[in-house]
Amino acid sequence: MASTIIELGIRDGLLCDQMLTCSRWGTPSSQGLFQDGDVIIGGLFPLHYQPPVIDHDFTKLPRYNPCTGLEYVPLQYIYAMVFALEEINHSTMLLQGIKLGYHIFDSCGRPPWALQSALFLCLCVCVCVFQISYLSTCPCLSDRLQYPNFFRTIPSDIYQARAVAQLVIRFNWTWVGAVVANNNYGYMAVFQEEIQGAGVCLAFVETLQRENIISDARRAALTIQASTARVILIFTWYTDVRELFLQLAKLNVTDRQFLASEAWSTSGDLVQNSVTSKVANGVLGVATRSSAIPGFESYLRRLHPIHHPDDEFLREFWEVEFGSPVSTLKVTYNVYLAVYAAAHALHSLLCPIKDSPSENNISTCSSPKQIKATEISNKTGSLDCERCPLELWSNAKRTACIPRQLDFLAFNETLGITLTTAAVTGVTVTTVVFVVFLHYRHTPVVRANNSELSFLLLVSIKLCFLCSLVFIGRPSVWSCRFQQAAFGISFVLCVSCLKVKTIVVLAAFRSARPGAEALIRWFGPGQQRGSICLLTCIQIIICTIWLSLIPPVPRQDLGFQGSKVTLECAMVSVVGFCLILGYIGLLACTSLILAFFARKLPDNFNEAKLITFSMLIFCAVWVAFVPAYLSSPGKYTVAVEVFAILASSYGLLFCIFAPKCFIILLRPERNTKKYMMAR
């Protein structure tokens, strides 16, 4: 976010917290993001990469104009910080009653701008109690004596330099070229003891400096072209690599094997650009560990200058390109962790003071009975308890924090067994009905109201029962995606069959009127199949778009108190789920209306009456589902959805097919054309 050491400006970032404000003097730039709060988190990010030309005549104070060349990836880092702060401000577990604000500036990734911004934050905005970096990787910063207040959420460079050295040794690459940043970050890679002592020779070492990046990149590209080394080690920032690859593309150098540092190994820009992708087709590198940030992608997509008129960064981005690109989250996740690290530190610092007991109500940690389930104490008779992290819980003796037990709707628990049994029973009963209809397929009861649609309806009901089983068990990436798609498509297929069946009933009786014989021909078997396919394909398109853009993901829900952590399929965006339910509801309502109009048509076996009753049950179940789903905690939200699926499936099966099976098996005398046609 910002520079803490001048020669490490391009690589370093910090967070600091404040308790003091003063008037602005020599502000780094008019651009910035500001949000007031009880405690301010300062942030500096290298948002632009092209510094302006500076004329140092030493006769007046230097004026550092804003940099240009907007970078999308650091912009993502900025909003990761804002997103994390908004999460913390709405959290019921962290810093209750304390609002976090932020002051965010552009450091331009260069010493003068980074230093000016850092000094402004540290001197005029905040008293820096501690600094947390998401991108400072210099091994020197691990020295606790020199930097006692510095922390980071990214590993030291020494580990990735050793990893690259081991790769070189593993593949027996003894003649290697190197292009590195002209700072400690770059030099760390080429002077590792592992490389020096393994017979690896450096063909050349070229340095890149941001102020002269075009000329430096051209010089390095010419060196690479002239060298016999086919393996090139590159340790520098990804914007410098992009310029280097552009220069190599001009020289048609596309046959080199590149060893990449974590700063650019996963940069999508190099692969997406048609020019640089030809050069970047042989890249092997290291990367820092990453993780998903639930809700962050949806948050980015909701950003718009209309809703944030004071956001200069967002306005500039919107003028350049519409939309918000979501790149790799490996560094973005480090920003997210840095903000939460600061919040946890502040919570430990401020909340014990705020929540301290009064003199008349003193509590101690002298015995396990006096210690909360979220706290521990390692000292007998101590007045202070240590709070366990959210994902941990104290043991029975209250002496150590242990992982919470994962909780989800499992197959081997009572509730899971009950729902599984109900689903399997539904599948079995539906199969039996299917066999009965298949055996008596030539009888009037089966042939009435289109036997083909009846068989398709039975298959769709069977799929509805089966899809409920996908909701039970440990959530995974694929199960979270498949369960909602299977549910939505199965039920749309089922309701579509009922809707077409109702239309067939109406068309059949309308065509019996004089002059309306052609009506049933316009809705024959081909049109019936086409209607069902069309209605189902709409749901398939909705599911495909939703699951491709913002699918549900498995997530641990730490929001509930207790020794268990709920593992659930979290919906990053509820829009897709609402569209799936809304479309099913639309089809069900139209089917109900059509069936209601056809219920009094003359016939001893008017199927519209059965469809009307089944749709009433179906709609009642899903109307009751919404409030029950929203109010159910943890794994019981899944159980409520499974119950709704099973209840509506049983309602359709019994309401429509039970009367027919009764006639086929127990009243065969009624299974005649004469009886069916009687009014």
pLDDT 10s digits, 58-80? 666 666 666 777 777 788 888 88
Looking at domain 157-285, its CATH class is alpha beta
Q: How far apart are CA 83 and CA 431, in angstroms?
A: 51
286-319 confidence digits (pLDDT tens): 887 777 788 888 888 777 777 777 777 777 776 6
Work out the average pLDDT over 543-557.
85
For the record, the structure tokens of 447 come out as 């042939």
Residue 541: how many other CB atoms lie within 10 Å: 10
Please tell me the number of Cα atoms within 13 Å of 470 on its side-chain side.
Answer: 21
Quick one: pLDDT at residue 361? Answer: 37
Quick one: pLDDT at residue 10? Answer: 31
CB within 8 A of 224, min separation 6: which ones? 177, 179, 206, 232, 248, 253, 256
For the record, the structure tokens of 262 come out as 């974590």
Closest C-alpha to 437, from 422, 456, 424: 456
Which residue, chain included where needed, has tokens 């209607």? 531
On the question of pLDDT at 142 being above 50, the answer is yes
Pick the CATH number of 6-155+294-343 from 3.10.20.30, 3.40.50.2300, 3.10.129.10, 3.30.420.10: 3.40.50.2300
Let me know if 216 is exposed, middle or buried by CB neighbors in 10 A (0-12, 13-18, 19+): buried
pTM exceeds cut of 0.85: no
What is the enclosing helix (H) or strand (E) of 163?
helix 157-170
CA 143 centroid distance within chain: 36
On the question of pLDDT at 11 being above 50, the answer is no
On the question of pLDDT at 367 being above 60, the answer is no
Maximum average pLDDT range among 182-191, 402-411, 494-503? 494-503
Quick one: pLDDT at residue 222? Answer: 93
CB within 8 A of 561, min separation 6: which ones? 374
Quick one: pLDDT at residue 602? Answer: 58
On the question of pLDDT at 439 being above 80, the answer is yes
Work out the average pLDDT over 247-275.
83
Residue 464's pLDDT band, with cuts at 50, 70 and 90, is: very high
Q: How far apart are CA 423 and CA 432, in angstroms?
A: 14
The topology under which CATH files domain 414-677 is Rhopdopsin 7-helix transmembrane proteins (1.20.1070)
The helix/strand/coil state of 41 is: strand
CA distances from 435 to 167, 320, 344, 460, 472 (A): 63, 63, 62, 15, 28
Quick one: pLDDT at residue 583? Answer: 93
Every domain of the chain with CATH number 3.40.50.2300 lies at 6-155+294-343, 157-285
Q: How far apart are CA 165 and CA 168, in angstroms?
A: 5
Maximum average pLDDT range among 254-268, 374-388, 599-613? 254-268
The whole-chain average pLDDT of the chain stands at 78
Quick one: pLDDT at residue 31? Answer: 63
Q: Where are the beta strands (DSSP E) in 262-363?
A: 283-285
Pairing of strands 175-181, 131-133: unpaired
Residue 158's pLDDT band, with cuts at 50, 70 and 90, is: confident
What is the share, in percent, of the chain residues with pLDDT greater than 90? 15
On the question of pLDDT at 391 being above 70, the answer is no
Quick one: pLDDT at residue 324? Answer: 42
Q: How far apart are CA 152 and CA 133, in angstroms?
A: 4
Quick one: pLDDT at residue 520? Answer: 57
Least confident of 300-304, 353-357, 360-364: 360-364
Q: How far apart are CA 105 and CA 120, in angstroms?
A: 10
Closest C-alpha to 493, from 521, 466, 520: 466
For the record, the structure tokens of 76 come out as 């993502």
Quick one: pLDDT at residue 187? Answer: 75
Give, rounded to a whole angstrom, the gap between the first and last alpha carbons of the chain.
81
Q: How far apart are CA 300 and CA 304, in angstroms?
A: 9
CB within 8 A of 426, min separation 6: which ones? 461, 465, 646, 649, 650, 653
Every domain of the chain with CATH number 1.20.1070.10 lies at 414-677
Q: How far apart are CA 497 and CA 295, in angstroms?
A: 37
Altogether, the residues listed in the chain come to a count of 679
Quick one: pLDDT at residue 677? Answer: 63
CA 512 centroid distance within chain: 57
Quick one: pLDDT at residue 73? Answer: 77
